[in-house]
């Protein structure tokens, strides 16, 4: 049986806080370590022969409920990450893209996001997407309202797909770390026929070797898409 090809990988990065707490550290240390893992996994994906897109769930619409000090730290961490990782994107020919409602971010952070997208727009080995202030229901609602505003009164699945922020492709494989087994309002439309893998590893301990094993498992799966 031929291998099932992985083109679009999505990852829910879970466990930063628990990783830090297990070590008696502030939760922010877990987020810092988790940012390093994003770099390593992105580099791995850029070199993988079939992966075209990797989408990371970085900050959800619900994450604003966290303590203000933690949210403020995450915003600074994101800005520094994008500043520091531009070299990594260019070196590995990676295009950066952000999805979600970016209007709630500071003008400075929005500018950093826009600059990174513009600077990497011609890179072609991998599209690296960060879902920021993102919710799957919000994305679908926005797409439908956008089409209604254009005067559409009857919509097809193709219409809605084209109006989403992530029209690149459906998700082939979703990986969630830390042992939790739910999708948490992530890419609800695009996950319709995805394969799922739930890793027990906390995100700061997640390594490319484990991802490689997960992909090997995925490649042996028989995806029927409702058929026989």
What CA–CA distance (Å, rounded) separates 217 from 176? Answer: 15
Catalytic residue among 26, 63, 115, 185: 63
Chain centroid offset of residue 220 CA: 24
N-terminal to C-terminal alpha carbon distance within the chain? 15
Q: Spell out the SS3 assignment of 130-173.
A: EEEEECHHHHHHHHHHHHHHCCCCCCCHHHHHHHCCCCCCCCCE
* 50: DSSP letter: S
140, 160 contact by CB (below 8 A): yes
Angle separating helix axes 107-120 and 68-91, nearest 10 degrees: 20
Q: What letter would DSSP give residue 227?
A: -
CA distance 218 to 151: 42
Give yes or no for a contact between 104 and 133, defined as CB atoms under 8 angstroms apart.
yes
Which H or E run includes 116? helix 107-120
Query: Cα–Cα distance between 199 and 184 in angstroms, integer?
Result: 16
E strands present in 177-222? 195-198
| Catalytic residue check, 63 | yes
Catalytic site positions: 14, 63
């Amino acid at each position: 049986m031929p291998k099932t090809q992985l083109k679009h990988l999505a990852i829910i990065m879970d466990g930063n806080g628990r990783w830090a707490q297990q070590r008696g550290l502030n939760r922010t240390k877990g987020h810092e370590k988790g940012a390093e893992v994003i770099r390593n996994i992105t580099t791995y994906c850029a070199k993988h022969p079939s992966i075209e897109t990797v989408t990371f769930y970085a900050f959800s619409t619900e994450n604003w409920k966290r303590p203000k000090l933690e949210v403020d730290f995450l915003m600074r961490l994101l800005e520094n990450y994008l500043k520091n990782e531009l070299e990594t994107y260019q070196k590995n020919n990676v295009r950066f893209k952000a999805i979600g409602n970016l209007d709630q971010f500071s003008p400075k952070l929005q500018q950093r996001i826009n600059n990174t997208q513009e600077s990497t727009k011609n890179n072609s080995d991998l599209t690296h997407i960060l879902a920021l202030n993102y919710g799957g229901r919000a994305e679908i609602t926005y797409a439908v309202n956008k089409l209604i505003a254009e005067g559409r009164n009857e919509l097809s699945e193709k219409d809605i797909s084209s109006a989403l922020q992530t029209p690149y492709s459906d998700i082939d494989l979703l990986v969630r770390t830390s042992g939790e087994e739910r999708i948490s309002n992530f890419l609800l439309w695009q996950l319709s026929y995805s394969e799922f893998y739930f890793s027990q590893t906390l995100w700061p301990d997640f390594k490319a070797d484990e991802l490689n094993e997960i992909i090997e498992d995925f490649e042996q799966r028989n995806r029927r898409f409702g058929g026989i």
